[in-house]
Amino acid sequence: MTRLEILHVSNHVLCVVKPACVPTVPDDSGDPSMFDLAKAWIGEEFGKPGAVFLGVVHRLDRPVSGVLAFARTSKGAARLTQAFHDRAARKTYVAVTSAAPDGGPEGEVRQWLVKRGSKNVVRAVPEGTEGARLAVTRYRVLAADGPRRLVRLEPVTGRPHQLRVAMASLGAPLMGDLKYGAETPLTDRSIALHAMALEVPHPTAPEPVRVHAAAPAGLGLPWRAFDAALAEPGVGLE
């Protein structure tokens, strides 16, 4: 069994690090998912030979790495799901873009997004388009390396692919993101988007769950050029 990197475990919550290119939940590929791996880990760690409950409360795209939270109880699942729905969960991502964003070193992107076709592609469309949903993304450039930029991203809303579309719309597609304008793939077929930090109300305790996952450090990946900036305080949750 693949060894999970555990960030937090309590009676109601489990937070782990999702490697890039591993699906959050089972899909048509048949590859082991984080859902499967987490259930197996709980069964082994806590000696549960029977069925293990695990609730999916949010997801990360397959090529994205970083913090992923699950619920260990039905009460936890209901309350965490509500927290994400109510925008009470705060998520912080870092990304490496192939160019500087057209909108300047920091700003907010407001777009109406809709999924088009059968290839799981999301497009920005005019307000009022049938099926479109508002997506709001805040960004700030943290460092530069030639044309590339390390960018901190905070999704105010939680729409599919919203961070990827937001950066592409600013002329700064994420490195490796061929679906949204990148010219070349990364060596591991990931995209340079990492869920670095998560803060969410605990289902039963007064103190929130607050977790942080360091960016991938693999050779050939664009994160290596930004080691110093990624180590600065405030890159994750401020």
The region of weakest confidence among 59-73, 203-217, 220-234 is: 220-234
pLDDT band at 39 (very low <50, low <70, confident <90, very high): very high
The active-site residue out of 27, 28, 36, 61 is: 61
**What is the average pLDDT across 187-206?**
96
Amino acid, single-letter form, for residue 164: R
Give yes or no for residue 183 having a pLDDT over 70. yes
Give yes or no for residue 50 having a pLDDT over 80. no
What's the pLDDT tens digit per position in 7-31?
Answer: 999 999 999 999 999 999 999 888 9
Give yes or no for residue 48 having a pLDDT over 90. no
Query: What pLDDT, on a 0 to 100 scale, did the predictor assign at position 1?
Result: 47
Share of the chain above pLDDT 70, in %: 97
Q: Which residues are CB-contacts of 70 (< 8 A; sequence separation ≥ 6)?
A: 13, 14, 15, 16, 35, 38, 54, 55, 56, 57
Give yes or no for residue 66 having a pLDDT over 70. yes
**What is the average pLDDT across 210-220?**
87
**What is the average pLDDT across 95-104?**
96
Annotated catalytic residue 145: no
User: pTM for the complete prediction?
Assistant: 0.94
Please name each of the domains of the chain with its CATH number.
6-230 (3.30.2350.10)
